[in-house]
Structure 1
Amino acid sequence: MKLSWCPERASKAYIDTITYCKLQRESGPAELVSAMAAGWNARLIVETWFSSGAVAVSMGLAVASRHTGGRHVCVVSDEDSRSEYLELLGGVGLSAEVMVGDFDSVVSGLPGIDFMVVDCQRRDFTGMLQMAELGEHGAVLVCKNASVRISSSFRWRSVLDSGSTRRLVRSSFIPVGKGLDIAYVAANGESLRNFKGEKRWIKRLDRHSGEEVIIRK
């Protein structure tokens, strides 16, 4: 089996995220990530967040989890960050499960991740991608702030080849906000030939720049 795409669910999450993020700057990435997580029907959504970071993408993930009925977990480093994060989400009527601690220790209790977002501005973001226990039906991995990431030598294949069950299907860089770098990972035992079927085109208009972005799935 693999993750299955539901365009109707993706569209609803996209629209709802626009509503929640209407007062946020650079909300474009949030809307796109929300639509992707909801469209893939992610049952376990995991993200990392640090104090004073932007929260728009987190809002999008919270909205997506409502549409999928899944679990949205945010990993933070300390209690102050936890309080700040919950206050920011709560201010717009959203919530998430927040876990405090080092990512490597927290992620061991989070098997079966379907959708994960990490921040490229963290020096340890590559290690987080490698340590994540991905779902047996495949997973979508997202690096936000990809245009300003610390590691210029980052390559998805070098990260995913670290595990025999992590097989890269395809990756895409989406130029919205500060950049999203996205990878699709095959389900355990799934033949990569099964991913070469019908493609779908998704269009979105960046409300800030006026640029139309076309994504092929």
Structure 2
Amino acid sequence: MKLVWCPDMASKAFFDVVELLSTNTPDEEGSGGGETGLAELLAAMAGGWNSQCIVEILPVDKPSTSTATVALSAAAVRTGGRHIRTFQSEEVTIEGMDFAVVDFERRDAVKVLREVRVGPRGAVLVSKNGRRCGGDLTSNSAGEWWGGVLMQGIRVVRSAYLPIGNGGVEIVHVGVGEGKSLPDRKKKIQSRWIKHVDRVTGVEHVFRR
């Protein structure tokens, strides 16, 4: 059993959020076209992976509603899954997580991640504000760092940095049990160019993976 990408579900979740945000964009500090573009991306990813347990790991001082929250809630409705938000000082045990957005402005984000039980299909993790915890999202050691953060038995399959939103995000695909992990960074890895167009500002981002 593994995560399987569904383009049709991704498109539906994406357009659900585009419609929601076109009529009612939540107020949040530092929001703007970049954060709206990130919200659309999150919805498409959560929907495309048919996520059944979507988790937001947030600091206590975050706004009650944000574009990311709207996006993830809409994706959960589309997939028929759950959308769970956890805040600092909460003691929560989460079972079967298969999609998560982690804000590392939360002081105990690493501790929470180690307690979360990833579902049998594996999971996709999206990291925001990763540099706050001393990590460098663009470094070759990102896979090793995540491997030390996640609970035992979880392996990092691949990792990518995207310059989207305020400060960019890292997207990590993790698997459960034995299997291939990230390739040896010393070996030559074929790269490719990826293009993302922000639907709000019209700005085109081109980056190499």
TM range, normalised to the smaller chain?
Answer: 0.7 to 0.9
DSSP 3-state at the match of 2:157: strand
Matched residues in 1 for 2:156 and 2:101: separation? Answer: 16
Flag the 1:52–1:168 CA change in 2: closer, same or farther, 3 A.
closer
Query: 1:186 deviation in Å?
Result: 1.3
Give the one of 50, 57, 66 matched to 1:55.
66
Q: Distance in 1 between matches of 2:207 and 2:13?
A: 18
Q: Which residue does the alignment assign to 2:11? A: 11
CA-atom RMSD in angstroms: 2.7
Residue 182 of structure 1 deviates from its aligned partner by 1.0
Deviation at residue 18 of structure 1 after TM alignment: 1.4
Residue 151 (structure 1) aligned to one of 133, 155, 159: 133
2:110 aligned with 1:126: yes
CA positional deviation for 1:66:
1.1
Given candidates 125, 141, 146, the residue that maps to 1:141 is 125
Structure 1 residues 1-217: aligned runs within 5 Å: 1-22=1-22, 23-24=24-25, 25=32, 26-49=35-58, 50-53=60-63, 55-77=66-88, 101-102=89-90, 105-106=91-92, 108=93, 110-146=94-130, 149-153=131-135, 155-161=142-148, 163-178=151-166, 179-191=168-180, 204-206=196-198, 207-208=200-201, 210-212=203-205
**1:145/1:208 CA distance change after superposition, 3 Å:** farther
TM-score between both structures, scaled by the size of structure 2: 0.75
CA shift, 1:75, in A, is 1.2
Q: Helix, strand or coil: the match of 1:150?
A: helix
Give, in whole Å, the separation in 1 of the partners of 2:20 and 2:207.
23
1:127: Cα distance to partner?
2.5
Write the distance in 1 (CA, Å) between the matches of 2:197 and 2:112.
31
Report the Cα distance in structure 2 between the residues aligned to 1:213 and 1:127, rounded to whole angstroms: 34
Are the equivalent residues in 1 in contact too, given 2:154–2:174 (CA < 8 A)?
yes
Distance 1:190 1:112 in 2: 19
Q: Which aligned segments of 4 or more residues in structure 1 are displaced greater than 6 angstroms?
A: none
What is the number of equivalent residue pairs in this alignment? Answer: 181
Pick closer, same or farther for the CA change 1:130–1:156 going to 2, 3 Å.
farther
Amino acid at match of 1:182: I
Gaps in structure 2 of 5+ consecutive residues:
26-31, 137-141, 183-192
Query: What is the rounded CA distance, in whole Å, between the counterparts of 1:15 and 1:215 in structure 2?
Result: 26
State the one-letter code of the partner of 1:6: C
- For 2:45, give the aligned amino acid: M
Does the residue aligned with 1:48 lie in a helix, a strand or coil?
Answer: strand
- The TM-score, its normalising length taken from structure 1, stands at 0.72
Structure 1 residues not aligned, in runs of 5+:
78-100, 194-200
